Amino acid sequence: MKDIKVLGPGCKRCQTTAEMVQAEADRLGITVKVEKVTDYAAIAAFGIASTPGIVIDGKVVHAGGLPKAEDIAKWLA
């Protein structure tokens, strides 16, 4: 199982990002645990200045704006 954190204040883009990650994982048949992180100190600890951010298994893979579905698929593979 992949541990995924979506970093952001809970805005629409952050919610959409979390939904995109889950949908892509479902499409690929990958089990994931998606956690939304809204605490600014926790977000800053990852070095994210622009949200939404995506952290997969402790590694920052995306920051700022909506990711592309094909990028999500690469990160999950």
Q: Which of 14, 18, 25, 63 is catalytic?
A: 14
Note the helical H segments in 2-68: 12-28, 40-45
39 catalytic per annotation: no
Q: Residues with Cβ < 8 Å from 58, sequence gap 6 or more?
A: 3
Contact call for residues 62 and 54 (beta carbons, < 8 A): yes
Distance from C-alpha of 7 to C-alpha of 18, rounded to nearest angstrom:
9
11 catalytic per annotation: yes
Q: Which of 3, 11, 33, 50 is catalytic?
A: 11
Active site residues: 11, 14
